Structure 1
Amino acid sequence: MGVPRVAVLLFIVFIAISSLFARFQDLVYVKNYDNFVNTLKQRGIANSNVLIPDGKLHHLMWFLQISDLHISLFQDSGRITDFKQFCTETVSTVQPAVVLVTGDLTHAINPGTIGSQEYKEEWKIYSQIIHESGVFGKTKWLDIRGNHDNFNVISVDSESNYFRNFSAQGQFHPRSYNFTLKHDTERYTFIGLDACLDPGPKRPFNFVGRLTEVGYKALEEMKKKRVKVIISSFGFTTIWRMRNAHHKISHFQVVGTANWESGPYLCGHLHTLLGLVPSMYTLHSTGSLELELSDWKLNRRYRVAAVDHGMFSFIDLKHGQWPVVLVTNPKHALYTMPSIEPLKIIRKSSHIRILIFSPYPIVSAQAQVNKGDWQNLTLSEGPLYILPWKPENYLKDIHSIDVYVKDNKNQEARVNHLFSLDGSRPSFSLLGRAVLMGHISIGQTIFGIFLTLSVVPLCMLKFLQIWKKGSIGKKLLKDNCCKRFVFKLYLLVYVDQLFWPLITMGIYSGVGPWFLGEIIDGYVGVCFVWGIFVEGVFLPGATTFYVGSLYLLTFYMPYTLLLSNCLYRHYLNVRNGGAEPCTFWNYMSRHLCMIIVIIWQSVVAVGYAMAYGVMAFFLGMLNTGSVVLAVVLWRLAITLPDSSFSKFNKLIKDHVLIPNNETDPDN
């Protein structure tokens, strides 16, 4: 009866993992918009009053986005000098209507990269650059907070919330706000979404955002006041990394309401995930894009975006890369928003429209369609270059436009631009979509799976051991490669002095408080895997689930296996009359891995002390407590008296678990 129950356990774990992958598949699925023309007709967009793109510089607005500046007193002064150049040369050359600065304006991390706090000097540097560069006279500067701008900040009214005094918008809009730009005959609304935690803990548990019900209602009020043109929402935290304070608030509602007045959500925050995902773009079920911009901190990236006759286009660039080339008509096929944009006007347009920027005169600008003949682009006005075309020749499938531009400093730019007029689109990067749309519940599921794998097998062995009174040996432990591994766990669960504290340690990680400490300087809070309580406020967990998974994966699981191995070796030594020589090198070879695991967990415990104060170390029930308990159980496992095994030997005497002539199978 033991084997079927183990099979049932494995089946349950398999179902849980399958559910996780099903959730993943659902998240990364993109709806097919093959019938987008009919959709546009139903929305009344394809009518005679809609303006058609031609060869003139009108109904075209462009802007810049920059994110994750991380201005620091202690790291990489090049971020500051390059940012000065961006504010002077880049802004002056592009002449954007708006500059969006989407969070993490400062670094706010102590030397040593563990502790965190807001440094007024970093904010002064940021403020000095944007004022002395003269950007306020060239454009509208819209900045907003990121999580680094909110480290160790008890409230938006706190003196340590330097965003209020040293940013462009903080003194007028301490949190979310909107700005409406009048350009030509259109009005463009930019909604800045501040989803910073309030209060703002110190790192590492200040990574996700939180959209409160009050914040959501304010966002809805902003949307009601907008005029009927494309709206660009911008913020720091990606949509799926916003925790909601009210279950009625949908994550998708942050992006838009699936009507043609909504637009893309522009954000930062995730950098490039250590270079693994350089581009993170996705299309939500609302029909709106979410476009994460790589960081300025290490990669010096920024974005040029434009709205041309109601169609949104963008290109992400590295600082100092000239010339800049952005094709605005026809729009790139991958980034179309068929339920939002008037895409049918592309079919009626008379010219290919391309924005070209460079601080130096352009000496050559050419384009070719579908690898045809190169044709010279004509300068229309300002940065707009045009080329007459006949869209009726490209009504089906995906086509390409290649653009080549050269300035008089011999700087060159080559762009390959894909477009379609029938709704065909390339595929988004699967990894990029997965990262952007990875719901917080995935972290909960991963933690739940690891916790299940950590404690359930041991509990099952204990249950079967008690129920079958030793006969499990014949049913589970055959003469194969798994024999010794299972026997070690079987022996471990038999010793109650080890089993019950070990199981309690694992279960505690999912239910008990991890530590008490200064979550914010001067404010003591308590941290659980499912959230943090500080100053009477509950901050839902998110990063904590991944940290909990790391705890189980790097400490609890290895420690369990190593503890069972220590006990097994001690058992063999007892059975063989203490024949194993007790030398230093013998001891180290058998216990080195255990020492490494305990040292690792000790380093983690010290890290919590550096982040949240000495209290977090001495009252670190999970981290420091695990180290203490690990040492105690380890010592107990290798010093159990011989009498502790007598009943065990009697229990298994009728079952061939270890050959009588085995001394030490590992030697």
Structure 2
Amino acid sequence: MAPTAILLLCLLPFFFSYSPIFLYADETAAAAEMVSRDFFPMEGDVAWVVQISDLHLSLFHPERAQDLSGKLGPALRAIRPDILLVTGDITDAKNRKRTTTRQDESEWIQYRNSIDKLTEESGFESRRIFDIRGNHDKYGVPFVGSELDFFSIHSVSSRFNRLGTIQNISLVGDDRRYIFLGIDDTMGTGIRGPSNLFGHPTAQRIHTVESELQYWDNNPNASVTKIVFGHFPMSFTASAEKGERYEPIFARQSVSAYICGHLHAKFGKHLWRLHTSGIPTHSTEPQTVKPFWEWELGDWMEFRFIRILAIDRGDVSFLDLELSSGFQTAILVTHPTDSRIMNKVEDPNSQLVRNDINVLVFSIQPILDVTGRVLDSSRNFEIVEEIPLNSAMNSSKGKPLYNAKLNTKKYANASATRYWLQVVVMDSNGVQTKSLARPFSVEGKRAKFSPSWLTFWFFYLQWEDVFYTLQWSNISFLILLLCLPKLLNMFMEKNSSYQNWAMSVSISSLIDQRKFVFRLFWFLMEGSRIKTLWHAMVIYLIHLLTMPWFWGHATSEKGNIYKLFLSGWRTLPSIGAPASEKLGIPDQMMITLPFMYFVVAPLFLLVYCFSAERSASCFHSSKSSRCSSGCKICAGWLRKLLLAAAAAIAYMHLKIVSGIMEAYGTVPVAFSPAVTWVPSLFLLAAVYSTKRHQSKAK
């Protein structure tokens, strides 16, 4: 029996043996989100915190954990923040080659011991450390509380019973409250990588976040500043059940900034975004636009990045430091803020323009002198004024705050980027440190922020929408590729002159560029004329659209078997059990898009190419008097080129399948025909069928 017939018969059982079941989880059964609340007293109007992210502690890289005490410890002693935020991906959860994902308790013990050593050597209170999960911390965790949920055992949050999905931390002063709200948006069922890339909020969690953010608004006597922290950027956060998202909530509740990690510094060290969301008012009034900033922090894993974020009477500013070479003197100007990327919250009760300079100076050595320099960018950054800064009178407990008065009249009515501020610090060892110069506006004008192409690619594209666009573009292309040739064949075969027309636009007329469109139609029509292969491709595409691609251990090596559909992961219902919800949407894009774009689409096109090459060879054989030796040589090279393309597709297919096997188990994936061996059968069938027809033609 011909291989194409065998392929067709093999596909039929898979077409009829599975019934696609696409049911979502019962939305009304969503459990209430757990919230932990902590309060810390705050003195004065200036507070600051430290953020670290993407530690990826690993047994194979012990230096990452050692540097927590060796490099972060001295930094904490100098900075003395109010709280320390650890925004996810605490452990690496990968093997030495980083090819498989799994939870390893020894990495979590390493984290726990590192935190104990950090607090012991730095003197920082462990109750002021707040950690949340990242996607690596949820790899292979079937559910919270399972035996693989080591975060619930070894994290700092577990020590203080902060195991809810939302952490509300309040720094409370006499008339000001600075709120830090942490969100854990990791998957409820921790699918192993690479199908675990996005944050997954629920509608209930989004509602709870809004309730927590508006809680302090009921107190009109306190000025409130709100910061939200999480692991996933907004661009890598999926929508909730009915399309709900955080962005309008943050805008409506006047959030100043959302800080996160996840993307690592190798993708860019300044991934920042200004969100502008319209808040609907009355139908007759225009929408109110309330902006908030999103600032991603580079990773600790490779670059040892930390962030110092300060709030000065509602004005939010930050400084990112790289501790690869240890902690050096750090200078953070808290007012006036950077007019490009810092956030200024307008106080409706205040009509005064601030006329002060506030600077935080963090240093291991005593500070002898702090001087501010105002530079004029319109005059080649000449120094306009030097302003000595003195230690703040109200900087109790040794707060490293320095301030001075600023003559705002001198800098009024200027553009947001004309005047720049730089601070120069001299320590007791005579070492001078300069801050980066940054523009300011005494009137609170905002300079235009121009993101880099890398920032736009990762931060401004909503990758959930990108996934659906790419997926359905590919599917539409494949459907058109299969259907259009058959429609053309049905129309042209009614015309007895088809063979003459086909001959006129075959390989013998490649020199005539005016016949490109006709040659394209000829390619599509001839490419689909091996009926067995064409019907097999149709059945295979229907299988990919509606039935399971493969099945494997989606959570842990010993966990339940899950099946991956184009629409997400799910377990098929067992006897007496309901169907499970779809999981990992759009996380499956890391598998489905490479397979569709680098295997399926090239495979279908190559089958057409083999079929068209066979037809062209038949034309030349039947019209040998018109065919020169050069055409025969070209035909031979064309065949070799197609065989090389087939080898490339086979190699790509092997790489993708081997990666899937390493991730979800060799045996279950190997017995999944749609992904594992059907593409190889197509290649063999196409090569054999066209070679057999060529031999007959001779």
Interval of TM-score (by shorter of Structure 1 and Structure 2)? 0.7 to 0.9
Q: Residues 58-457 of structure 1 correspond to what in structure 2 (within 5 A)?
A: 58-74=44-60, 76-134=61-119, 137-139=123-125, 140-171=128-159, 172-174=161-163, 175-183=165-173, 185-226=175-216, 229-247=224-242, 249-253=244-248, 255-259=250-254, 262-272=255-265, 274-276=266-268, 278-285=270-277, 286-319=290-323, 320=326, 322-337=328-343, 340-342=345-347, 348-369=353-374, 370=376, 371-380=383-392, 381=395, 382-396=399-413, 397-398=415-416, 399-407=419-427, 408=429, 410=431, 412-420=433-441, 421-429=443-451, 431=453, 432-439=455-462, 440-457=464-481
Residue 146 of structure 1, CA deviation: 0.3
Aligned residue type for 2:445: G
Identity of aligned residues (%): 23
Structure 2 gap ranges (5+): 1-42, 278-289, 377-382, 573-579, 623-628
Residue 245 of structure 1, CA deviation: 3.8
The 1:341–1:78 alpha-carbon spacing in structure 2 relative to 1, beyond 3 Å, is farther
Residue 464 of structure 1, CA deviation: 1.4
Aligned residue type for 1:170: S
Residue 588 of structure 1, CA deviation: 5.7
The 1:433–1:591 alpha-carbon spacing in structure 2 relative to 1, beyond 3 Å, is closer
Residue number among 636, 640, 643 corresponding to 1:591 in the alignment? 643
| Contact 1:240 1:251 (8 Å CA) reproduced | no
2:606 is the alignment partner of 1:562: yes
Aligned to 2:564: 527
> 604-613 vs 386-395, which deviates more?
386-395
Residue 610 of structure 1, CA deviation: 1.0
In 1, distance between residues paired with 2:138 and 2:527? Answer: 46
In 1, distance between residues paired with 2:439 and 2:609? Answer: 59
Aligned to 1:5: none
Residue 634 of structure 1, CA deviation: 2.7
Structure 2 residue matching 1:316: 3-state secondary structure: strand
Aligned to 1:608: 660
When the two structures are superposed, what TM-score results if normalisation uses the length of structure 2? 0.76
In 2, distance between residues paired with 1:541 and 1:248? Answer: 13
> 468-477 vs 173-182, which deviates more?
468-477
Aligned to 1:3: none
Aligned residue type for 1:84: S
Aligned to 2:551: 516
Residue 199 of structure 1, CA deviation: 0.7
Structure 2 residue matching 1:638: 3-state secondary structure: helix
Residue 349 of structure 1, CA deviation: 2.2
| Contact 1:602 1:623 (8 Å CA) reproduced | no
In 1, distance between residues paired with 2:430 and 2:349? Answer: 39
Task: Give the number of aligned pairs.
Answer: 585
Aligned to 1:502: 537
Deviations 1:339-367 (A, max 9, x none): x4439969632321111112123355332
Residue 154 of structure 1, CA deviation: 0.7
In 2, distance between residues paired with 1:508 and 1:106? Answer: 38
The 1:592–1:643 alpha-carbon spacing in structure 2 relative to 1, beyond 3 Å, is closer
| Contact 2:64 2:301 (8 Å CA) reproduced | yes
Aligned to 2:597: 553
Residue 406 of structure 1, CA deviation: 4.4
In 2, distance between residues paired with 1:278 and 1:299? Answer: 13
Residue 82 of structure 1, CA deviation: 2.1
In 2, distance between residues paired with 1:287 and 1:639? Answer: 64
Structure 2 residue matching 1:325: 3-state secondary structure: strand
Residue 503 of structure 1, CA deviation: 4.0
Note the aligned Cα RMSD (angstroms): 3.3
The 1:511–1:585 alpha-carbon spacing in structure 2 relative to 1, beyond 3 Å, is same
The 1:428–1:161 alpha-carbon spacing in structure 2 relative to 1, beyond 3 Å, is farther
In 1, distance between residues paired with 2:129 and 2:667? Answer: 42
Residue 116 of structure 1, CA deviation: 0.8
The 1:131–1:282 alpha-carbon spacing in structure 2 relative to 1, beyond 3 Å, is same
The 1:506–1:324 alpha-carbon spacing in structure 2 relative to 1, beyond 3 Å, is farther
Residue number among 519, 523, 542 corresponding to 1:488 in the alignment? 523
Residue 292 of structure 1, CA deviation: 1.2
Aligned residue type for 1:597: I
Structure 1 gap ranges (5+): 1-56, 646-662
Deviations 1:33-59 (A, max 9, x none): xxxxxxxxxxxxxxxxxxxxxxxx930
| Contact 1:514 1:528 (8 Å CA) reproduced | yes
Residue 275 of structure 1, CA deviation: 3.2
In 2, distance between residues paired with 1:99 and 1:212? Answer: 26
Structure 1 residue matching 2:583: 3-state secondary structure: strand
2:453 is the alignment partner of 1:468: no
In 2, distance between residues paired with 1:496 and 1:540? Answer: 37
The 1:169–1:276 alpha-carbon spacing in structure 2 relative to 1, beyond 3 Å, is closer
Structure 2 residue matching 1:211: 3-state secondary structure: coil
In 2, distance between residues paired with 1:557 and 1:167? Answer: 45
Q: Residues 588-667 of structure 1 correspond to what in structure 2 (within 5 A)?
A: 590-641=642-693
Residue 476 of structure 1, CA deviation: 8.3
Residue 637 of structure 1, CA deviation: 3.6
Residue 492 of structure 1, CA deviation: 1.1
Aligned residue type for 1:359: I
| Contact 1:242 1:251 (8 Å CA) reproduced | no
Deviations 1:291-347 (A, max 9, x none): 111111122211111110111111222113522111111112123546x44399696
Deviations 1:388-413 (A, max 9, x none): 21123323321321223344373633
Residue 118 of structure 1, CA deviation: 0.8
| Contact 1:202 1:519 (8 Å CA) reproduced | yes
The 1:620–1:538 alpha-carbon spacing in structure 2 relative to 1, beyond 3 Å, is same
Aligned to 1:16: none
Residue 170 of structure 1, CA deviation: 2.7
Aligned to 2:30: none
The 1:348–1:276 alpha-carbon spacing in structure 2 relative to 1, beyond 3 Å, is closer
Structure 1 residue matching 2:449: 3-state secondary structure: coil
Structure 2 residue matching 1:520: 3-state secondary structure: coil
Deviations 1:620-647 (A, max 9, x none): 34421443333333334433436998xx
In 1, distance between residues paired with 2:521 and 2:269? Answer: 40
